[in-house]
Structure 1
Amino acid sequence: MALIDTFVASYQYLVDNFDEFLGLLTEHLTLVLVAVVLAITIAVPLGILAERHDRAKAIIMSVGNISQTVPTLAIIALVFPLLGLGFLPSLVGLFTYALLPILTNTVTGLENVNESTVEAARGMGMTEGQIMRKIKLPLAIPVIFAGIRTSAVLSVGTAYLAFFIGGGGLGVWVISGISLFNTPQLLAGAVPGALLAVGLDSLFAFIERQLTGETHATQSPAAG
């Protein structure tokens, strides 16, 4: 009964502070989406480069691994003297953390394309660029999007740390709720974050299905 009362109180807190909630949710979602889109923009081309050149792969994957092992708060602390408080340093920390899953899955997806399919495409006279665009990338899309979905879910959770440098987001309610022992406020910030993670995962899964449907015809050399 106490648990039900707590959730009712959390719902009431959200309703009573709905305008503030919308502002925090917008900040949180913006931070996550911008970080993930930037990570996709950087990680996919780097993954293609790494798949083509072994020396570049060693360097790129090392940098990616380092970015994942350094805690987000540590990255924020490093960029704080340069960027100050607010959205930008939070974005840098989140982007750095979102990079590796997409990078790793891009390389893995491209490397796991059946070599006989690639050789058949070469035999038909396709250039390496055409093979990448019409064969490897379409076949690697499911693996790449698995990395994107992982990054999106991780970023939703990591974005709560933006509170510590004035980046806003749902962390304002969650961390304030912890500090004040205000469970309804804490849950009013935490539960929407969990739903947001599920929603983004479903969104990227939908985009993946659309892309794989559109590129199905490119999955054999004959279609090129």
Structure 2
Amino acid sequence: MDHEITSGHSFASLRVSLARGETIRAESGAMVSHDAGIDIETNATGGFLKSVRRAFGGESFFQNTFSAREAGEVRFAPPLPGDVEHVPLSDETLYVQSGSYLAGDAGLDVDTEFGGARTFLGGEGLFLLRVTGSGPLFVSSYGAIETVDLDERDSLVVDTGHVVAFESTASFDVRRVGGLRSTLTSGEGLVCEFGGSGRVWLQSRSPDAFLSWLIPKLPVRTTNHSA
């Protein structure tokens, strides 16, 4: 399976070349185009219970599996402008922020990982997909992707809206920024503190911060009650 990430870092898209018999699985709605020799099957990945759990994690019930009846290409793009990055997995686990999973080898196991209160407190979108196995994985971001090596520091504190993914060797905990007063006034809300070893992928923009900026500026529809 060959791939190419195109269109630069601001509006990146993914082109995957499938040999006959190869398959790739992508998030629902990620496909841009495909060649005529590619078949699509939509299914609830991981069985019914896993699909229900994914729905609570903010992810769709279904994913699309693209199978090459004949050699051809499939193009994917994320919903937000930003980067796409290839992360090759070799019998390992990566935790991916809900919404940052774009596509991956059909042999990868994609499941929702509930971290108890840590993920539910992450109301800014810190619901995690656990991706396990071997094969190519493609993650996307809002803005640019930056990789941080935890081995080079004692800990790393990240606003939850800027987390893309992290390796399973990292420990993490979600907490408020200071007390309730500072949480309300700082504009940060909740942060994720990482420790241990491994890599963390960050995005330079936060969808939640963008919505917080945008929504107050939207026009409000008023109803004329005059006769």
| Fold match by TM threshold 0.5 | no
Give TM-score, length-normalised by structure 1.
Answer: 0.23
Query: Whose helix fraction is larger, Structure 1's or Structure 2's?
Result: 1
Give TM-score, length-normalised by structure 2.
Answer: 0.23
Bigger CA radius of gyration? 1
